Structure 1
Amino acid sequence: MTVLTLRTLTGRPVQILVDQEIGSGAEGVVYPVADSPHVCAKLYSDFTRAAQLGPRMEALTGLSPVLWGGDCPEHLHVAWPRTTLRDHSGQLRGVVVPRIDGTPMLRLLDPGRRADLLDEATWRSTFAVAARVGRLFDMLHGAGVVIGDVSPSNVLVDRHGHVTLLDCDGVQFTDPQTGLLHRGEKFTPEYAAPEVLDGRPLSREHDLFGLGVMICELIMEGQHPFGGVSTAQPPSESVEQNIKHHNNRVTRPDRLVPSADALTAEILPGKILDLIRQCFEEGYERPERRPNGRAWAYELDQAAYQMMGCRYNPRHAYHRSSVACVWCARIVAGYGDHFPPPADWTMPLDAPVRGGLMLAPAPTTLSTYPAPPAPVNGREAAPPAVVPSRSSKQLRTIALIALIALIVLVIIVVAAL
């Protein structure tokens, strides 16, 4: 066992197990800390860069998110730096951060992995995760923090769907003691706002553009809204180019080559689709129009609450605005099952399958119910009633019962006379 001993700003020794790497990134490597399973140490690879980060890191450890808890005792909203680590000469070498269990949100974008990562692997769960990401962004913006490097690789998700922001040492913030603005320097091009790709500095509105992209990916089964080959000549093939050229698969589908198995916007709840348009259409050239994290969280939570269950598969959830299960419809169309049932689930005999005998009509259309009534006094109105049609056999039965009742009534009247 190889141990490196560094000290906090107050002189407390911290023993780091440098032969047991947990993970690594562009700026450093993360190692466990001896006798402390709840924290780990991030050591910077570039000593010169580390020396430059000294004032930033000392200011960062004094901001309010360092005290934040989470949604439950086992959860934290942010893996915020707790204290700096220095060597015997006083040189900054790294920071102590909480050790979080979970998986990068990037893996949730792969439908094949989701059942192994979440306790409840349903479409409803992806909406719940997306809502938590929205609330997290809103909390950080309320604390004056710009995330900057927005990416699903920097968000950790546990089995219950709780989310935690990683790599918080690169955020943009203002030191409340000195008033010095510590700018964020990194961003991921696939989640960057068009103005940032054109050279403008990072901002809260940049975060909100990336938030919209991540939410779209989550609820659209990993499909990047700006991903694909454009229909222009010459075509743009990278996500970064599509963002620059405003080629969006959801709001401007004619600008990208269609994919036969791609999800279409019609499966989305109307209010979620409105927020997507507000983010990528109104907000494309007017960043201040992009919806904030709170707006996303509210509508995503509402949409998750309005999900319907499917009798053929307990992991199939679809919004009440669709007349039937959209995932069963995709199975019938030959696109496979993004939410396969549990291994111990007994499939009903009339379950929709591609080919073979269909004992019940398969849902093949995605038409919608009328829009639900507007909220009254802040409370959601009841969904519109759907009156089922009666079959001819049912009508004949009702008519026969009515006739028998009439005959009995006539007999009673005659007997009374």
Structure 2
Amino acid sequence: MVSRGGREWQLTERIGAGSEGLVYAVGHDGSLVAKLVPDPADPVAYRRRVERLVRQRREPRTVRLLAGTPQRVAWPLAAVRTLRDDVEGYLMPDLRRDFLPFTALLTEAGRPDALPGATWATALAAAEALARLLADLHTEGYVVGDLNPDNLWVDAHGRVGMADVDSWQFTDGHDVFPGRMRTPGYTAPERMAPNAGTSGAPAGPGEETRAPAAPPVPPDASTDAFALAVLVHQLLMGGLHPFAGHPADGDYLSLDDNVLHDRCRLLDRTSVVLPRTAPPADLLPRALDALLRAAFSAAGSRPPAAVWARELAAARAPGRLARCTVRATHVHTVERPWCPWCDQARRGMDSYPEPA
């Protein structure tokens, strides 16, 4: 693999794959990885996009985003191509040095093994960190466009990192580089293609397929805010997607179909049927519950990421959390007089079990 300047790097093992590209470890020191995109829709446009991002790494707005430890964004460091088959891509920091895949905290299956000490307080911290990172990106003029669990990372303290910068929407001088991707279940309804609700996309976040976006509305801060609200709901509801559930009025088609038809327990408890083991609907602080309702009710009134960051910080402030007297891993808001996770456990599922 070689850069534009002629410097060579050696690819070692393949460590990841998505709908658009492949990720390889580079060298043996564990500091860099390479994302290669074998078949971009427009190779010239993709190369130009990566080169502009590499150049922007030295701009003040990007320097501000990359400040701090650990670094929150896997920013492109150099445009590269393979020597054998001329596949385009870029080098970026290896977030595995500081983080775990976001699903380690998001899913009930991942938490006990990957993050055995995680509690609802960890989920709150991660939600705040994600909202703060997104607010910072918007302040500096970037739009993620395809915010979803597959491009997010998290650690045991709830700190959050983000990858796949090459799919963001951004400007460079007078040039606009539009957002190019969307993920079923994390796409705002106004960005969906007309047949999005009938695509039959599977329900699990690990089973979703990312696709080039062909929506009537380009991504912006408001569409990012929709995806943020979905992720906050999942973090605080033990992994439950806000639009999950079998429609009460017909057959299940996809998460996107539920989004388009406002089938959401938070908005209308009679619109979907959920397993009895789902976390209680009333476990959230009132302020966060109100933000979620606003985010899913109408596009024009979605709370921005900065508002989410402020309210999430307030929800985890000293004196705002209570620890269950029965199980130490059960943490909940003081606004609820008894433990919601014990309620869930009595129905056959414990989102925060004690370590074995």
Q: Distance in 2 between matches of 1:203 and 1:157?
A: 24
- Assess if the C-alpha contact under 8 Å between 2:280 and 2:343 holds in 1: no
The aligned residue for residue 291 of structure 2 is 275
In structure 2, relative to structure 1, the CA distance for the partners of 1:93 and 1:26 (3 Å cut) is same
Query: Structure 2 matches for 1:364-379, cutoff 5 A?
Result: none
- Does 2:11 correspond to 1:25? no
| 2:231 is the counterpart of 1:217 | no
Counterpart residue number, 2:34: 41
Q: 1:79 to 1:58 in 2, by over 3 A?
A: same
Once residues 288 and 80 of structure 1 are traced to their aligned partners in structure 2, the CA distance between those partners, rounded to angstroms, is 31
Maintained 8 Å contact 1:155/1:165:
yes
Distance 1:209 1:312, change over 3 A: same
Listed one character per residue, the Cα deviations across residues 80-103 of structure 1 (whole Å, up to 9, x for unaligned) are 1111114679x6721011111133
> Which residue in the other structure is 2:258 paired with?
242
Instruction: Tell me the distance in 2 between the aligned counterparts of 1:82 and 1:205.
Output: 29
Residue 196 of structure 1: CA displacement?
A: 0.5
Range moving further from structure 2, 101-110 or 54-63: 101-110
Equivalent runs, 1:251-400 vs 2, <5 Å = 251-281=267-297, 284=298, 287-305=299-317, 306-331=320-345, 333-343=346-356
Match of 1:163 in 2: 160
Q: How far is the alpha carbon of 1:130 from its aligned partner? A: 0.8
2:186 maps to what in 1? Answer: 191
**Alignment correspondent of 2:127:** 130
Q: 1:265 to 1:71 in 2, by over 3 A?
A: farther
User: Compared with structure 1, are the counterparts of its residues 48 and 245 closer, same or farther at alpha carbon in structure 2 (3 Å cutoff)?
Assistant: closer
Q: Which one has the largest radius of gyration?
A: 1
Q: Does the 8 Å CA contact 1:138/1:293 hold for their aligned counterparts? A: yes
- In 2, Cα distance between the equivalents of 1:229 and 1:104? 28
Q: Deviations over 1:317-355 (max 9, x none)?
A: 111011122222333x33232222234xxxxxxxxxxxx
Name 1:388's counterpart in structure 2. none
Identify the match of residue 177 of structure 2 among 167, 173, 182. 182
1:25 deviation in Å? 1.8
SS at match of 2:289: helix
2:160 and 2:316 map into 1 onto residues whose CA distance is 17
RMSD after superposition: 2.3
Cα deviation, residue 15, structure 1: 1.4
- From 87, 91, 99, the counterpart of 2:94: 99
Counterpart of 1:52 in structure 2 is: 45
Distance in 2, matches of 1:278 and 1:308, equals: 26
Distance 1:342 1:180, change over 3 A: same
CA separation of 1:51/1:92 partners in 2, compared to 1, >3 Å: closer, same or farther?
farther
Check if 1:231 corresponds to 2:248.
Answer: yes
Normalised by the length of structure 1, the TM-score is 0.73
Q: Deviations over 1:357-383 (max 9, x none)?
A: xxxxxxxxxxxxxxxxxxxxxxxxxxx
> What's 2:10 paired with?
16
Q: Alignment partner for residue 110 of structure 1, among 107, 112, 116?
A: 107
Q: How does 1:71-110 map to 2 (within 5 A)?
A: 71-72=68-69, 75-86=70-81, 93-101=88-96, 102-110=99-107
C-alpha displacement of 1:259 = 3.2
The one-letter amino acid of 1:152's match is P
* Structure 1 stretches lacking a partner, 5+ long: 344-417
Q: Give the AA of the match of 1:55.
A: R
Q: Aligned partners of 1:337, 1:71: CA distance in 2, in Å?
A: 35
Q: Percent identity?
A: 32
Q: TM-score, normalised by structure 2?
A: 0.84
Counterpart-to-counterpart distance in 2, 1:194 and 1:314: 40
Query: For 1:290-311, what per-residue CA distance to the aligned partner results, in whole angstroms no more than 9, with x for missing partners?
Result: 1111111121122123111122
